[in-house]
């Protein structure tokens, strides 16, 4: 058995691509639109998984954009997507500077949570050992849920 991808439905494709690619740094691997099915699929990979994603078609996130408007409500049965990052503080600073709420700040230099434009929870984990605690993160309170 091999893990292939996780599909999430998005209500605004451009906004979601901005979040995942421009802010998180993921890479678009492929895109398929269906006029008859009225949807667009965009497959993304983390930069360190790009070669595998192109060669093996895994591991990836599939963004599914249905052209006809739908309201998506998240269920508690879906937890979150998790990514290992090179510098959790730098990424959280970038996300926050671009209007993303840091729901669970990286107080411990190891873990943070944010949400996508469609309210999907994203866990960010520091690669290697936790970074030394530092401000403004060390004393920042949680915001909302993750």
- The reply to whether 98 falls in a domain is yes
pLDDT digits (tens, 9 = 90+) for 19-69: 999 999 999 999 999 999 999 999 999 999 999 999 999 999 999 999 998
pTM: 0.87
Catalytic-role residue among 48, 50, 123, 141 = 123
Query: Quick one: 9 and 42 in the same domain?
Result: yes
Number of domains in the chain: 2
CATH code of the domain containing 102: 3.10.180.10
Candidates 121, 112, 42; CA nearest to 74 is: 121
Query: Quick one: 11 and 60 in the same domain?
Result: yes
- Paired strand residues for 61: 6, 44
- The reply to whether 144 falls in a domain is no
- The reply to whether 55 falls in a domain is yes
Angle (nearest 5°) at CA 121 between 118 and 124:
130
Question: Is 123 known to be catalytic?
Answer: yes
Instruction: Evaluate if residue 74 carries a pLDDT over 80.
Output: no
> What phi, psi does 142 have (nearest 5°)?
-65, 150
**28 and 21 Cβ atoms separated by less than 8 Å:** yes
pLDDT digits (tens, 9 = 90+) for 107-137: 999 999 999 999 999 999 999 999 999 999 9
Which domain does 30 fall in, by range? 5-66
Query: What is the rounded distance in angstroms from the CA atom of residue 109 to the CA atom of residue 88?
Result: 7
């Amino acid at each position: 058995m091999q893990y292939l991808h996780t599909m999430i439905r998005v209500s605004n494709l451009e906004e979601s691509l901005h979040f995942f690619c421009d802010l998180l740094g993921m890479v678009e691997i492929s895109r398929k639109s269906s006029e008859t099915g009225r949807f667009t699929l965009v497959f993304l990979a983390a930069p360190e998984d790009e070669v595998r994603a192109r060669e093996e078609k895994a591991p990836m996130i599939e963004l599914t954009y249905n052209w006809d408007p739908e309201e998506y409500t998240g269920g508690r049965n879906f937890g979150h997507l998790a990514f290992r990052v090179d510098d959790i503080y730098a990424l959280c600073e970038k996300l926050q500077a671009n209007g993303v709420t840091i729901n669970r700040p990286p107080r411990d230099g190891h873990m943070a949570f944010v949400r996508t434009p469609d309210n999907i929870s994203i866990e960010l984990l520091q690669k290697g050992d936790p970074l030394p605690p530092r401000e403004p993160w060390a004393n920042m309170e949680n915001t909302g849920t993750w």
